Amino acid sequence: MNYRDVTNRENLYWSWHLSESYEAISADFQRLLPVIESNLPSGVISDWKGAIVSSVGEFLPPIPHQRCLSHVQRQLLTFLPLHSPLPAAQALRGMAKVITQINTTEEKDRWLKSIDDWIVNHQSLLRERTIGVGTKKKWWYTHGNLRRAVKLLKFNEEHLFAYLDFTYLPRTNNSIEGVNSQIKTKLSNHRGMQTPQQVIYIFWLLTFRRVKNKQDLRRLWDRLKNKIFRF
């Protein structure tokens, strides 16, 4: 897990967990708060995992929380495959592809209206059911992924477009994705390391990326030598 100050392009805190559980994220926030207590964020952007949303609501004051549109778009395009035989799915896929290109409130309103019009025109498709024969389930929605895509587009619209009301918020968390991509490249270049070695390597990599000058290096050494000698 990596918590990054997008404005100053600085990684504030990072940790290692087996999963993004609420317990893990909650523990991270308890350690992160002393780091940012003198400069609380004015907004948050995340991939909208439930544990992250809950922790932001619990540990931070009410602030705008932007849902990363790149993650939303990626998920939508998974629900709406390129070669879907359904014209309705292709039309909705076209709307999904432009979600990251909305720059004004007027464009947002037009885009939302196009989604509403699509829903009105395809109600019967969304309600279509398949009857189970020889299965545990008696029935299910025939076009489940289409329904999931619509639900994603209509769920918490204020968090999809918070960046339009708060201009300092980015619409995607590409800043942190760039860091993650570099980490993956480094690990790929050092194949063969076991998980504990990978974690240590990443921690040192992120630590030294915060070293900008000799003074930072001296402060880092002062902190580390006390821990080393105490150990």
Question: How would residue 228 be classed by pLDDT, with cut points 50, 70 and 90?
Answer: low
pLDDT at 58 > cutoff 90: yes
| 8: Cβ contacts below 8 Å, ≥ 6 apart | none
| 115: Cβ contacts below 8 Å, ≥ 6 apart | 95, 150, 153, 154
Percent of all residues in the chain with a pLDDT value above 90, rounded to a whole number: 77
pLDDT at 170 > cutoff 60: yes
E strand intervals along the chain: 2-5, 10-14, 44-46, 65-67, 129-131, 139-141
pLDDT at 81: 94
pTM (2 d.p.): 0.85
pLDDT at 185: 93
pLDDT at 227: 67
Calculate mean pLDDT across residues 202-227.
84
pLDDT at 200 > cutoff 60: yes
pLDDT at 134: 85
Enter the tokens of residue 144.
């489940």
User: Which of 23-32, 75-84, 185-194, 216-225 shows the lowest mean pLDDT across its residues?
Assistant: 216-225
pLDDT at 215: 87
Q: What is the pLDDT of residues 73-96, one digit of tens each?
A: 999 999 999 999 999 999 999 999
pLDDT at 198: 93
pLDDT at 157: 84
If we measure between CA atoms, which residue out of 175, 173, 179 comes closest to residue 209? 179
pLDDT at 230: 62
